[in-house]
């Protein structure tokens, strides 16, 4: 199960996932970090990028942080 590091920027105009030069991903999400909405949007972006279902993507650490470690099961 691969782990990826994702840096989240909430409140963006467009939702997108970008691979950075250092090997981490930057997730620009439109949602604000209230009630887990931003986390849900990050999970959706990662699942679309890697072609797996949302249930295959989990946040391993950083649920309340802007820097998250995410696992992909597929």
> What is the C-alpha separation between 55 and 33, in angstroms, rounded?
20
Q: Whole-prediction pTM value?
A: 0.93
- DSSP codes joined into one string, 12-71: -SS-EEEE-TTS-EEEEESS-SSTTHHHHHHHHHHHHHHT--GGGEEEEE-TTSSEEEEE
**For each of the chain's 74 residues, which pLDDT tens digit applies?**
799 999 999 999 999 999 999 999 999 999 999 999 999 999 999 999 999 999 999 999 999 999 999 999 97
Residues spanned by the domain of 22? 3-72
The structural domain count of the chain equals: 1
Residue 63: which CATH number? 3.30.1200.10
């Amino acid at each position: 199960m691969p782990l990826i590091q994702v840096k989240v920027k909430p409140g963006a105009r467009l939702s997108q996932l970008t691979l950075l030069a250092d090997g981490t991903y930057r997730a620009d999400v439109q949602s604000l970090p209230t009630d887990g909405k931003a986390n849900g949007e990050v999970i959706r972006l990662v699942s679309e990028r890697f072609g797996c279902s949302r249930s295959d993507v989990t946040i391993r650490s950083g649920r309340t942080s802007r820097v998250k470690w995410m696992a992909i099961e597929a």
